[in-house]
């Protein structure tokens, strides 16, 4: 095991490469909610002098073709043209909060996950690209924070009710509930050809489960604060791809660390500590870099082989809740609490 | 018509939502609703998944928790009414904490406005900062129970502006049974006579309000005995005590009399019962100065040094660490020398704090072996020398005092540089991690300033602590001296001095502390001062009107003898020594260096192991608990030893003394007074009329005497 703390390393190039994108009008857009307001609300807003504020962007996913970026927020999914970020359309949802978006492996279905805080966790399955509602799955007692597909018909959810659910599209009840986390589940990944689930939670633990039986295989407990998100390294196609035999999952936590794991053998591969709280992460198209969205409004680019922070890019003054990598060109979409959707090129991130 | 209404509404003068700020507007709402109390989300691990700082001491963390964490799920910016932070306390959805906020209230409206405006936290650098809270009146005397009092809270800001925050301020009565407060209007009604304290809390500040309702509305009636008191009636202690009694309308009990005074002051200053010779000399002295002469004799005695070494050893928690018995012995010897030589308390404290070297040679260096860890050292030191409980600020800013986490971890950082094995020495390596920043804490003089590592933080702290102007050091020790002599501290608990736990007599505490400093931090001087007051010499017998007073010194508060003193007193009265571990028979309990010395008697009497604080709660200073009583009544402490062969009783019987003579001697030895005619008659009857064996009857008499309240207390 090689543990490298990046906080002690110096990166003379990093300072030069910090790029503030806040002034680049072409690269960001303030998303306007399309929620219709009734006349009463208009009167109320007038009486109070302001309209309601815009909700944050809480999840991002590229469509399978890479032509659009979908931004989840409260009550709707905004579809933006990529790379212009122009709004193409809005997919309205019955969910009070949308916390996670995921396309099925065949790209035909979109899972929209969230719910009503402290009441219900819901997943809407919509056809893509039409956006038509195919099914609604209710079964969690608090919002679903993360959703991932096992195959084109089966998906898995992690909720703040501490539970993990495995669902078949169209079936009202989960086919299996996985219980073990003592606090809300915030991250779900499916690995090993759909045979294992990796879950991260507010209880600081990462757990590995068998899909087929629901058996808890192991608990990875190196994080010392809540786990915010997990992401699986994509299969590489470069010169080193041949040696990647075991799947690697990255986790980010309130303990200000980014950790790489091999969940199938329970190994913490390496980690680094950063000077902000990482909230979300994404891998480069071939797993050659990691981008971490943080609570200080910066995106940090990390070399997964050394766990060095190669670059820090200032994106916003607000917390960055969501980040996603374009499937082919490696550019990034970043979503913040201020409902700003921004584009970051791979060059800006990896400081080529 | 509807258009006209819309226009009318649109031009109404309303407060802009943008002006609603998290720190100054939302935090008071949460505090007022009780959301951030220790029983709710202010608990160390939070509640229901939401963790807030205790009483809102950390607005930055609270803002993160409410508005930002978990992708901002607790605020709904599209539909503010649907926000968890509103729906939970108004019980629009199930809430473990129940109904906390009326949805129609101004507080709920403010919360709603904040969310509508984007649930932001303003940049406080650009806005006036809250600087202080002013509550009026701060001290008031109410003449009648029907009189209502309206409290008013004003917040002062850095730009000079003020805001009436009465409705956002939390007012809590120290004794809710005695003081009723309308939480909406801040109207106060006092239900019971006495001196009451109400704590006002707004944002990070708390202020005490003193409210006095006289018990009877009458003035003090000074008894005839009091007028005859030979001590100076202009004594500042008596002025302060009597003034408050007059305000409260509590009558004063008379003087205790010479016999009681003799016993009381001898126990307080030497931890022993006065013997017959002392009594004789005392009563033979000139009546006008016999008491002060006695006090001076006691203060200059070896017994004073022995007993007050024990008192300070308890404060310093001197106990033998495994393998460091030699060091403990050196520490105790050093302390005894300081008392014998009447070294100033400031010098003692500074020598202790700055001691270095081999703990087997340098006694005070053992201070750094008393507790382990820099944080524990900071807690111990603050309780010992400042009389404050800094420990609360480990996890959060102190909810009832000024102490912040910077203060706590900063002081711990001062001690982190001390390496404490057998050799106590300075080290460059020690660090304390500040839990808020995750980085090394900076050394800090609590409540004052940060100190650079190059500026010798420990010496700087020690100098600051013992400086004449230090607001804690002198007060902490004079309050303890007062408690030792009077049975109750001016501040209780004695290690919890803070603005929100005010002294019963604040001016007296200040005057005592100032006087202590003026007289070179001389422990004997302050003890003499207290012993010379009329308040000290007061009878413990209550009179009509002061029976329930346990705070204002209208009559003496009886103190249960300390375990060591009681054990010695029992041995003295019985004439049979108590064995203590491997110490020579005849060793007195007050002279034991190690509180772990084997002794079933001291264990049963509840001795302090000195591993933690030995401060005795005032509720237990009276007569002790049930366990102690059972030990005395039924256990071997008395029963086995009374029946022992070589004690006082055996000697008196062998000398052929009559029952009356035996009763007379035991009264003089145990209670330090002659037996009264009524008592003598009673015992004569008991010892004559019962058909048992004489010795057995006399043993019962001795048992009765040694279990009575008059014996086991210093009254």
Confidence at residue B612, expressed as pLDDT on a 0 to 100 scale: 87
Residue that finishes a domain, picked among B169, B197, B213: B213
Distance in angstroms (rounded) separating the CA atoms of residues A191 and A150: 8
Residue B707 pLDDT > 80: yes
Q: State which CATH number among 2.130.10.10, 2.40.40.20, 3.30.1460.30, 1.10.540.10 fits the domain covering A1-42+222-352.
A: 2.130.10.10
A283-297, B72-86, B633-647: least confident range: B633-647
pLDDT at A47 over 80: no
Cβ within 8 Å, pair B71-A96? no
Q: Are residues B612 and B686 in the same domain?
A: yes
How far is CA A318 from its chain centroid?
17
pLDDT number for residue B624? 61
| Alpha-carbon span B416 to B377, nearest angstrom | 9
The Cα–Cα gap between B125 and B28 comes to 20
Sign of CA dihedral B622, B628, B630, B636: negative
Q: Do domains A1-42+222-352 and A93-221 have the same CATH topology?
A: yes
pLDDT at residue B686 tops 50: yes
Whether residue A83 is preceded by a cis peptide bond, meaning omega within 30 degrees of 0, is: yes
Contact B80, A52 (CB under 8 A): yes
CB pairs under 8 A, 24+ apart, for B11-18?
B12/A47, B14/A47, B14/A48, B14/A49, B15/B113, B16/A49, B16/A50, B17/A48, B17/A49, B17/A50, B17/B113, B17/B114, B17/B116, B17/B117, B18/A50, B18/B117
Has residue B535 been placed in a domain? Answer: no
**CA torsion angle for A328, A329, A334, A340 (degrees, to 10)?**
-110
The pLDDT, as a whole number, for residue B548 is 84
Dist. CA B386–CA B405, nearest whole Å: 17
Last residue of a domain, one of B406, B439, B466: B466
Least confident piece of the model among A189-198, B390-399, B468-477, B627-636: B627-636
Query: Is B78 close to A33, i.e. CB distance below 8 A?
Result: yes
The CATH architecture of the domain made up of A93-221 is 7 Propeller (2.130)
Contacts with A297 from chain B: Cβ below 8 Å:
none
Residues B119 and B132 in one domain: no
Residue B147 and residue B191 in contact, taking contact as beta carbons nearer than 8 Å: no
Contact in structure between A249 and A261 (CB atoms under 8 Å): yes
For testing the chain B interface, which of A49, A143, A146, A278 should be mutated: the one with the most B CBs within 10 Å? A49
The overall average pLDDT reported for chain A is: 84
- pLDDT for the residue A78: 95
Which among A35, A49, A143 has the least Cβ separation from residue B73?
A143
Is the pLDDT at B241 greater than 60? The verdict is: yes
B36 & B175 share domain: no
For B560-578, the pLDDT digits (tens) are 899 999 999 999 999 999 9
Looking at the fold, whether B90 and B137 belong to one and the same domain comes out as no
**Chain A residues touching B68 at Cβ < 8 A:** 295, 319, 337
Q: Residue A146: what pLDDT?
A: 98
CA closest to B5 among chain A residues? A43
In a domain, B481, yes or no: no
* Within-domain flag for B313: no
Sign of the torsion angle spanned by Cα atoms A148, A154, A158, A164 = negative
Q: Same domain for B66 and B151?
A: no
Kindly list the residues from chain A whose CB atom is less than 8 angstroms away from the CB atom of residue B436.
none
Identify all chain B residues contacting A202, using CB atoms and an 8 Å cutoff. Answer: 49
Distance from CA of B271 to the nearest CA of A (A): 53
- Tell me which residue of A148, A160, A159 sits closest to A192, measured CA to CA: A148
Instruction: Provide the edge-to-edge strand list for the sheet that holds A290-294.
Output: A278-283, A290-294, A298-303, A308-314
Using pLDDT thresholds of 50, 70 and 90, give the confidence band for residue B518: very high
Residue B228 pLDDT > 50, yes or no? no
The pLDDT assigned to B627 comes to: 74
Q: Please give the Cα distance from B683 to B639 (Å, whole number).
A: 20
ipTM of the complex: 0.85
| The pLDDT value given to residue A242 | 52
Average pLDDT over residues B65-85: 94
* Predicted model pTM: 0.75
The CA distance from B323 to B421, in Å, is 11
- Shared domain check, B169 and B64: no
Which pLDDT belongs to residue A106? 96
Q: How far apart are the C-alpha atoms of B79 and B93, rounded to whole Å?
A: 15
Alpha carbon A4 to chain centroid distance? 25
DSSP A107-142: SSEEEEEEEETTTEEEEEEEETTT--EEEEEEEESS
Q: Sorting pLDDT into bands at 50, 70 and 90, what band is A280?
A: very high
Task: Check residue B433 and report its DSSP letter.
Answer: B
Q: Model confidence over B352-392: pLDDT tens digits?
A: 999 999 999 999 999 999 998 999 999 999 999 999 998 88
DSSP per-residue string spanning A282-341: EE-TTSS-EEEEETTSEEEEEETTTTEEEEEEE--SS-EEEEEE-TTT--EEEEETT-EE
Q: How far is A2 from chain B (nearest CA, A)?
A: 23
Q: Residue B55: which of B70, B85, B35 has the closest Cα?
A: B35
**Least Cα separation, residue B450 to chain A (angstroms):** 24
Q: Is the pLDDT of residue A164 over 60?
A: yes
Q: What is the DSSP letter of B25?
A: I
pLDDT digit string, tens, across residues A165-182: 999 999 989 999 999 999
For residue A238, give how far its alpha carbon lies from the nearest alpha carbon of chain B (Å): 35
Q: Which of B124, B148, B167 is the last residue of a domain?
A: B124
pLDDT at B291: 95
Number of Cβ pairs < 8 A linking chain A and chain B: 83
CB-based contact A99:B71 (threshold 8 Å): yes
Residues B590 and B682 grouped into a single domain: yes
Contact assessment for residue B504 and residue B208, using Cβ atoms and an 8 Å cutoff? no
- Per domain, the residue ranges of chain A are 1-42+222-352, 93-221
pLDDT value at residue A111 = 98
Burial state string for A190-211 with b = 16 or more CB within 10 A and e = fewer than 16: bbbeeebbbbbbbbbbbbbbeb
Domain that holds residue B173: 128-213
Residues B164 and B106 in one domain: no
Taking CB atoms and an 8 Å limit, are A117 and B84 in contact across chains?
Answer: yes
Number of separate domains in chain B:
4
What's the confidence (pLDDT) of residue A44?
A: 28
Which 3 state secondary structure label does DSSP give B208? Answer: strand
Cα separation, A30 vs A57, in Å, equals 11
Q: Omega before A8 cis (within 30°)?
A: no
| Shortest CA gap A307–chain B (Å) | 21
Contact A295 B68 (CB under 8 A): yes
Same domain, B157 and B117: no
Q: Which residue has the higher pLDDT, B168 or A253?
A: A253
B587 φ, ψ (degrees, to nearest 5): -65, 135
Share of chain B above pLDDT 70, in %: 93
For chain B, which residues lie within 8 Å of any Cβ of chain A, measuring from their own Cβ?
6, 9-10, 12, 14, 16-18, 49, 64, 68, 70-74, 76-80, 82, 84, 87-88, 93-94, 113, 115-119, 438
pLDDT tens figures, B623-640: 566 777 777 777 777 777
Residue B35, pLDDT > 70, answer yes
In terms of Cα–Cα distance, which of A119, A262, A112, A110 is closest to A189? A262
The winner for highest mean pLDDT among A25-29, A32-36, B436-440, B446-450 is B446-450
Rounded average pLDDT over A71-95: 93
């Amino acid at each position: 095991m090689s543990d490298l703390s990046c906080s002690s390393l110096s990166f003379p190039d990093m300072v030069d490469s910090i790029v503030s994108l806040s002034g680049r009008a072409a690269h960001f857009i303030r998303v306007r909610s399309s929620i219709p307001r009734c006349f009463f609300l208009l009167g109320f807003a007038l009486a109070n002098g302001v309209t309601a504020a815009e909700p944050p962007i809480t999840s991002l996913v590229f469509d399978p073709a890479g032509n659009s970026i979908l931004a989840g927020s409260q009550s709707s999914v905004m579809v933006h043209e990529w790379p212009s970020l122009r709004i193409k359309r809005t997919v309205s949802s019955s969910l009070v909060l949308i916390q996670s978006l995921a396309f099925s492996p065949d790209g035909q279905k979109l899972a929209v996950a969230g719910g009503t805080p402290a009441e219900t966790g819901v997943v809407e399955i919509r056809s893509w690209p039409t956006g038509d509602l195919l099914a609604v799955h209710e079964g969690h007692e608090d919002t679903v924070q993360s959703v991932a597909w096992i195959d084109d018909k089966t998906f898995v959810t992690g909720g703040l009710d501490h539970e993990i659910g495995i669902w078949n599209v169209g079936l009202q009840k989960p086919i299996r509930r996985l219980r073990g986390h003592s606090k809300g589940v915030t991250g779900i990944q499916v690995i090993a050809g759909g045979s294992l689930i990796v879950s991260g939670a507010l209880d600081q633990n990462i757990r590995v489960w068998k899909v087929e039986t629901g058996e808890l295989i192991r608990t990875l407990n190196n994080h010392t604060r809540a786990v915010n998100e997990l992401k699986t390294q994509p299969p590489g196609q470069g010169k080193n791809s041949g040696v990647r035999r075991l799947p690697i999952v990255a986790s980010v936590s309130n303990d200000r660390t980014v950790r790489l794991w091999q969940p199938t053998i329970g190994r913490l591969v390496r980690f680094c500590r950063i000077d902000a709280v990482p909230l979300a992460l994404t891998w480069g198209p071939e797993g050659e870099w990691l981008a971490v969205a943080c609570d200080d409004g910066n995106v940090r680019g990390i070399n997964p082989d050394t766990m060095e922070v190669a670059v820090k890019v200032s994106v916003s003054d607000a917390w960055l809740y969501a980040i996603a990598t374009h499937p082919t060109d490696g550019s990034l979409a970043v979503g913040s609490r201020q409902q700003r959707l921004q584009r970051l090129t791979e060059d800006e991130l990896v400081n080529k | 018509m509807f258009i006209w209404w819309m226009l009318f509404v649109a031009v109404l003068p309303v407060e802009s939502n943008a002006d609603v700020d998290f720190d100054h507007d939302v935090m008071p709402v949460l505090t007022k609703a009780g959301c951030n109390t220790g029983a709710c989300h202010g608990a160390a691990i939070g509640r229901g998944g939401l963790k807030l700082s205790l009483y809102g001491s950390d607005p930055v963390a609270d803002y993160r928790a409410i508005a930002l964490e978990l992708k901002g799920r607790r605020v709904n910016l599209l539909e503010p009414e649907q926000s968890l932070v509103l729906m939970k306390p108004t019980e629009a959805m199930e809430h473990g904490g129940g109904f906390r906020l009326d949805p129609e209230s101004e507080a709920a409206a403010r919360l709603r406005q904040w969310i509508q405006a984007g649930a932001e936290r303003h940049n406080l650098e650009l806005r006036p900062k809250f600087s202080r809270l002013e509550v009026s009146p701060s001290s008031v005397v109410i003449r009648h129970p029907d009189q209502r009092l309206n409290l008013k809270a004003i917040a002062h800001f850095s730009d000079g502006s003020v805001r009436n925050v009465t409705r956002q301020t939390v007012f809590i009565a120290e004794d809710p049974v005695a003081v009723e407060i309308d939480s909406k209007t801040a109207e106060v009604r006092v239900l019971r006579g006495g001196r009451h304290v109400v704590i006002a809390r707004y944002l990070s500040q708390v202020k005490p309000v003193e409210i006095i309702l006289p018990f009877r509305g009458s003035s003090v009636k000074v008894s005839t005995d009091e007028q005859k008191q030979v001590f100076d009636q202009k004594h500042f202690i008596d002025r302060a005590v009597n003034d408050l009694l007059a305000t409260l309308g509590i009558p004063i009990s008379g003087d205790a009399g010479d016999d009681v005074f003799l016993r009381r002051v001898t126990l307080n200053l030497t931890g022993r019962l006065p013997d017959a010779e002392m009594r004789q000399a005392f009563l033979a002295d000139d009546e006008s100065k016999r008491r002060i002469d006695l006090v001076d004799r006691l203060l200059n005695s070896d017994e004073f040094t022995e007993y007050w070494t024990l008192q300070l050893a308890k404060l310093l928690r001197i106990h033998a660490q495994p393998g460091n018995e030699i060091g403990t012995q050196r520490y105790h010897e050093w302390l005894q020398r300081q008392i014998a030589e009447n070294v100033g308390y400031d010098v003692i404290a500074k020598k202790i704090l700055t001691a270095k070297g081999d703990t087997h040679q340098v006694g005070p260096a053992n201070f750094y072996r008393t507790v382990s860890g820099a944080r524990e050292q900071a807690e111990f030191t603050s309780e010992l020398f400042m009389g404050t409980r800094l420990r609360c600020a480990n996890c959060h800013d102190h909810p009832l005092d000024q102490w912040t986490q910077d203060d706590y971890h900063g002081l711990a950082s001062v001690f982190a540089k001390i390496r404490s094995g057998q050799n106590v020495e300075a080290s460059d390596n020690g660090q304390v991690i500040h839990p808020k920043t995750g980085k090394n804490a900076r050394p800090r003089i609590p409540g004052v300033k940060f100190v650079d590592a190059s500026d010798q933080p420990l010496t700087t702290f020690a100098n600051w602590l013992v400086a004449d102007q230090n607001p804690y050091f002198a007060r902490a020790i004079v309050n303890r001296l007062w408690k030792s002599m009077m049975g109750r501290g001016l501040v209780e608990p004695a290690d919890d001095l803070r603005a929100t736990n005010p002294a019963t007599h604040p001016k007296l505490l200040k005057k005592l502390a100032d006087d202590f400093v003026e007289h070179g931090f001389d422990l004997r001087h302050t003890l003499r001062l207290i012993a010379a007051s009329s308040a000290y010499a007061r009878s413990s017998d209550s009179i009509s009107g002061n029976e329930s007073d346990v705070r204002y010194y209208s009559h003496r508060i009886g103190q249960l003898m300390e375990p060591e003193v009681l054990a010695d007193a029992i041995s003295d009265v019985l004439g049979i020594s108590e064995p203590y571990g491997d110490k020579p028979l005849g060793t007195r309990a007050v002279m034991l260096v190690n509180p772990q010395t084997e002794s079933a008697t001291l264990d049963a009497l509840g001795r302090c192991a000195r591993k933690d604080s030995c401060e005795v709660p005032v509720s237990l200073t009276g007569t002790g608990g049930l366990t102690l009583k059972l030990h005395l009544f039924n256990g071997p402490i008395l029963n086995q030893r009374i029946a022992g062969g070589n004690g006082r009783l055996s000697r008196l019987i062998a000398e052929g003394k009559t029952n009356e003579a035996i009763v007379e001697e035991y009264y003089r030895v145990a209670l330090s007074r002659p037996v009264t005619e009524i008592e003598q008659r009673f015992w004569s009857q008991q010892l004559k009329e019962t058909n048992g064996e004489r010795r057995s009857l006399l043993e019962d008499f001795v048992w009765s005497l040694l279990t009575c309240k008059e014996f086991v207390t210093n009254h």
